[in-house]
Amino acid sequence: MSYTKGKLTIWTRRKVKKIMLAFATISVLFFAITNLFFPAFLYKHLAFCVMFLLQPIITGIYAFFFVSDPELIAHRTERLLEKFGYEVSEEEMEEYKRRESEYNNLFVPTLFIYTAIWLAHVYVIESIDIRLLGDPVKDWIHVYGMFTYAIPILLLFILFELYTGRKHPDARRLEILVSKLRKQDPKRWSKILREVINEDKFEKQSNQ
């Protein structure tokens, strides 16, 4: 059974990678131009400038781990379960793809919007000189960022996972089954997963 990427959601992993690359390019150019021509702005808004530079890396990590590829993950889940002796219906696979697509449609825009709002709010609190424990924001930005950016994004990921799992119970059931198989026999599960991935690579090369 072959698969086709990007049929169900506009937020494919490939598109997200392109957006993150553009974001990284803009952030590097912004920091370089600010450092060269506007050092006073850089000094006054150091936390904002540094986080704007680092944000593509931080956001990219979240995107790498939490953005789904609905067609690919459904395809591999089906192959994996078949090798364990389970039959998966076409309807179950379609619901699995819809669940992953809906999750992407919720998580990816939220990730980008929250990132933009968070950077803007860092700029604002630096502009009005709000202090944390008596110190400038730039002195606490790593701790402040963890509590106001990193943890909320993780909570949103969990929220969207729970929401889409409850909305698509058959897809959730397949996820639970895969997790159960992995815990029961980790070595066999890893071996079969490698087989599925290698078969996908061979199939892809054969179709080229």
Q: Where are the domains of the chain?
A: 13-207
Predicted pLDDT of residue 8: 65
Q: How far apart are CA 70 and CA 5, in angstroms?
A: 8
Predicted pLDDT of residue 208: 61
**Tens digit of pLDDT at every position of the chain (208 positions):** 434 444 567 888 888 889 999 999 999 999 999 999 999 999 889 999 999 999 999 998 998 889 988 888 888 899 999 999 898 888 899 999 999 999 999 999 999 999 999 999 999 988 888 877 777 778 888 888 899 999 999 999 999 999 999 999 999 999 999 999 999 989 999 999 999 888 888 777 776 6
Predicted pLDDT of residue 6: 42
Of 121, 2, 30, 12, the closest CA to residue 69 belongs to 12
Predicted pLDDT of residue 7: 52
Predicted pLDDT of residue 200: 81
Predicted pLDDT of residue 162: 94
Predicted pLDDT of residue 5: 44
The pTM (predicted TM-score) of the whole model is 0.84
